[in-house]
Amino acid sequence: MQSTDKISALAVSTVLILAAAVTPAQVSAPDLTHPSSAYKAPDADGFLQRWLILEPMDANGLTESAVQAAVQKEYFPDQFTAIPREIRGARLAIGSNAASMWWLNGQEVIGIYGDRPTVIDDGVSKRITLRRGPNIVRAAIVNGGGATDFCARFLDAKDKLVKDIAIHLGEVRQ
């Protein structure tokens, strides 16, 4: 297979920090800023706003089996979502361009497949329990080409937004 035939997959974990080497001569984009705190609450619509984004990895298609084969390796342990209380009956609601798979504490909870645009709450997991304290959310986004994006939020047992959580990447470095 030629490298142009390969599809890039973007592995993701909770935390939106795009890391790149920046020299003094480079200027950062205005929407990419260093976080002022190690913790970040979801926004008013419940969306998780910080992500640690890893390098693209190869995938051989957008089908369920191709996506699962590409993303089964755990690349980023220790990325935590801190939950202040146990939340039973919660759901992870996601959207992605294109296919994606999502895990909570090592268990696959939702996957959407095929070439698709990002739609808010396009996929919603079965009922899950968010433990009090650290929970690990992991996602792999497989893009067939062009731009890619994704969104994720938690819903409670009544399908209301969960906002009283904090996303934690670790120590903030300036």
By C-alpha distance, which of 61, 45, 57 is closest to 12?
A: 57
Pick from 18-32, 39-53, 63-77, 132-146: least confident: 18-32
Residue-wise pLDDT tens digits, 100-153:
999 998 899 999 999 999 999 999 999 999 998 888 888 888 887 788 889 999
DSSP 55: E
Is residue 69 a contact partner of residue 140, using CB atoms and an 8 Å limit?
no
Predicted confidence at residue 146, as pLDDT, reads 82
Mean pLDDT, residues 38-50: 84
Predicted confidence at residue 52, as pLDDT, reads 66
**For residue 122, is it left (φ>0), alpha (ψ between -120 and 50) or beta?**
alpha
Residue-wise pLDDT tens digits, 54-101:
666 677 787 888 877 776 655 554 444 567 789 999 999 999 998 999
DSSP 120: T
Q: Where are the alpha helices (DSSP H) in the chain?
A: 64-71
